[in-house]
Amino acid sequence: MNSDPATPLPECHEGPEAATRFDSEIRFLLSVPKPLIERRERAYRKKSEANPNRRGPKRKVTPSASDHEHHATD
């Protein structure tokens, strides 16, 4: 078995600055407001559900109230 990987592994730079970088990234991630995250998730869900080639279970499409009223008057 060859111990040399086909692609070289990235170098790991550890040190006191690594902890500082980690802390700053975590603080940045946790500072995103919840409404912004929810808005982005809704947009992503809407975009992914519109994909006809999407894998997995498909969501059921419920008719809107205006469509229901229109058919009831016919």
The answer as to whether 36 is a domain residue is yes
Instruction: Compute the Cα dihedral for 68, 72, 73, 74 and give only its sign.
Output: positive
For residue 50, the Cα-to-chain-centroid distance in whole angstroms is 15
Q: Which amino acid is at 8?
A: P
**pLDDT above 80 (res 11):** no
Mean pLDDT of 3-15: 66
In this prediction, residue 60 carries a pLDDT of 73
Secondary-structure percent of the chain, ordered helix, strand, coil, rounded to 5: 55, 0, 45
Overall number of domains in the chain: 1
**pLDDT above 80 (res 47):** yes
Range of the domain at 24: 18-50
What is the tens place of the pLDDT at every residue in 50-66? 888 888 777 776 666 55
**Spatial distance between the Cα atoms of 42 and 34, rounded to a whole number of angstroms:** 12
The answer as to whether 23 is a domain residue is yes
The answer as to whether 71 is a domain residue is no
The answer as to whether 32 is a domain residue is yes
The answer as to whether 55 is a domain residue is no
The answer as to whether 35 is a domain residue is yes
